[in-house]
Structures are given as structure tokens and as C-alpha cells.
A and B are shown apart, each in its own frame.
Chain A
């Protein structure tokens, strides 16, 4: 892992990939403290409070039907419970990111300067934990049957922990019901199902939480219906 150029950033908002319409994203995370300094002390002391976060996304105003920023934000403005996944260094397996499933879109600003492009600025207010993700990869598949993405090694197993999978299906045409599963393995050979998503019959998004232990190798298994023509998706994993 290293430093990265910003051009690889991927932003998923529900069933939409905002990356091709956006030019900047800033994730602001705060954990304010309360001062507990008392008389006679020489140095201040503090205790930490509660965390909060928001994400500011700068995009180009795009009136593409259904999938442009105008249509997306016009519909989602001032509504809650959206699922977001942000991968600053791209969606290759193993790239880090963040996800949340209770997001509220709290602003939608459209600006038209005479000497520039029309822009759309949106702020997404988080509600609940901003979960750290490992991207398990993304793909556009047109092949029927069960396939897997390359596995990723998290280098250690965990005996018991809360886990969650994040799925964004940004395009699905043809026959419905594509199945997505996150599998884990102790040896990168024998995999078992760990997180099972609801079968996708159209572009969609979902966060599925599970508990228990997990191994160290993870991969995405997906199964397209026989006549499904195309499915584009990305999957992330939190533990």
C-alpha cells in the first residue's frame, strides 16, 4: 500500500456510481472532546465524546435521465437511509474505503458560472458508524453461471466480530436475479459462504450484517441467470 493519485477514486451512492460525474469528495470525520481540566492542574485534560461524519461530493451537474446528478439528487435530497461506499484508491481487491447505510442527503447546490461548467454540490450526513471497508473488487460480467473474483488475503482470521458486506449493483440488464455472496477461507482453497446478499433483479444496493468468526481469505461469488446480458457491481467488506 502506498500513496495514490485522486483520479482512481470511486463513489457509490445506492445503485449509482457517481465517479464519472464527480471531481472531488471529502470525508469529514470528527470526534470532539470535552475538556475535563480542573483547578491546580498544569496541563489540560480531555475525554473523547461521540464520533460523527459527513461526506461532501463535488460533481458536474448532469441531466442524464435517472442516472445523472440532477435526477439522483433531485430524488434523494432530504431523504434518509441511503447506502454509500467510497474507495479513495479505486476498487481493486484490497483497496480501503468507507461505507454507511443510514446516510441523509442534507444539501444539493447547483451552480452555473458563466466561465465554467455547471456544478452540483451535495453533502451527505452520516447517521451511525462510518464503517471501514476492504474492497473485494468490482466487475462488469456478461457470462452466465457462477463466477468468483480473485480472493484477497486479510492476513488474519478473527474469532468473533461484527461484519458487514456492501453491494452496489449499478447496472443490470437482461434476465433478473443475480446472486452475490462473500465467501471466506482459511487456506485460499476451500471457501464457504459468509455474507449472502438479496438476489438482485435490477440496479440496487444493500448492506448485510453478520456476526461470528471469519477466516483470512475473502472473495466474491456471483451467479448470473442464464440469459442475463450484463451486470456491473462492486462489493466491499467490513469487519
Chain B
């Protein structure tokens, strides 16, 4: 167990039929962003602010290449679930036996296609999480 190169990242998302689709081969970056904002509870009589913890939330930002391949391309999968609920699974170090597996449910809230004359057709997408993230191993 150690640090890892990003080339082995494993990511799946359920398509509109609920089937988990591995789309990581069409992605160049996956960011799982987790937040736990605090509420300020500072009263009079102090010089420093104090805070209490609130509720956790997360989203997943996907960046990669636009692909209309069969049932597994980024366009095919993500365009089909835009605005719909889905489930996801992330293996930051890959999906080999014993590797960390993170999973959860969410909504695909954005699917952006970018075409530039001098570059590959690109895509980005956001999955807004709902509920807790499960952590286990493959």
C-alpha cells in the first residue's frame, strides 16, 4: 500500500438502465470533492471565531474525451442519465484485489461537450452525490 500514479484510476457509473458502465478509459481526470461546511457559533467576548460541524456533501467532476462508443462511451452513458439518479464506483488505485473502493449514489447534473479545432472532442460531467459514500475494497 502506497502512493499511486493516476493512470490506474477505475470509475464506473450506472447508465439509464441501471447497468454499471466502466467509462474510465475515456476519462483523463476524476475528482471526488467532499465537503463538510461548518456553522459559525462565535459569540461576544472572544478574539477568535469558533465553529461547529454541519452536514457532509460531495460531487464528482469528470473530465475526458467525448465518445459515442456502443453502450459504454461517455456520451452514451452520461447523456442518458443527465438529470437522473445513478450510482457510481471509484477505485483511485484501480480495481485490483484489495484496492480501495468508494461508491455511492447521485444525480448527473451536468454533461458538457467541448469541441476545439485543434484538440480532441472533449467532455466534462458532474455527479452530485446524495447520501453517504461507502468505503470498502475490491
Contacts and interface: CB of A to CB of B under 8 A. Distances in A.
Interface string A74-87: 10011110000000
A127 B1 CA distance: 33
B1 A64 contact: yes
B100 interface: yes
B50 A117 contact: no
Interface string B14-43: 000000000000011111111111100010
B81 to A, nearest CB: 21
B1 A63 contact: yes
Contacts of B35: 106-107
A68 interface: yes
**Candidate in A65, A105, A112, A130 with the most chain B CB atoms within 10 angstroms:** A112
A33 interface: no
Contacts, number: 119
Secondary structure call for the B interface? strand
Contacts of B99: 63
A106 B49 contact: no
A216 to B, nearest CB: 26
Nearest to B55: A78
Interface residues of B, number: 37
A117 B90 CA distance: 15
A114 B28 contact: yes
A114 B6 contact: yes
B132 to A, nearest CB: 10
A21 B102 CA distance: 21
Interface in A32-79: 50-52, 60-65, 68, 70, 74, 77-79
A118 B29 contact: no
A183 B33 CA distance: 44
Contact of B3 (A52, A61, A74, A79): A61
Contacts of B28: 113-115
Given A50-B47, A104-B38, A107-B35, A114 B3 contact: no
A188 interface: no
A93 B13 CA distance: 51
A222 interface: no
A109 interface: yes
Contacts of A21: 3
A117 B5 contact: yes
A111 B36 CA distance: 18
Contacts of B32: 109-111
Nearest to B135: A74
Contacts of B52: 80, 127
Contacts of B48: 50-52, 128-130
Interface of A: 21, 50-52, 60-65, 68, 70, 74, 77-80, 102, 104-118, 125-130
Interface of B: 1-7, 9, 27-38, 42, 46-53, 56, 90, 92-93, 99-100, 102, 135
Given A109-B34, A127-B38, 6 more contacts: A62-B1, A77-B56, A108-B34, A114-B27, A115-B7, A118-B93
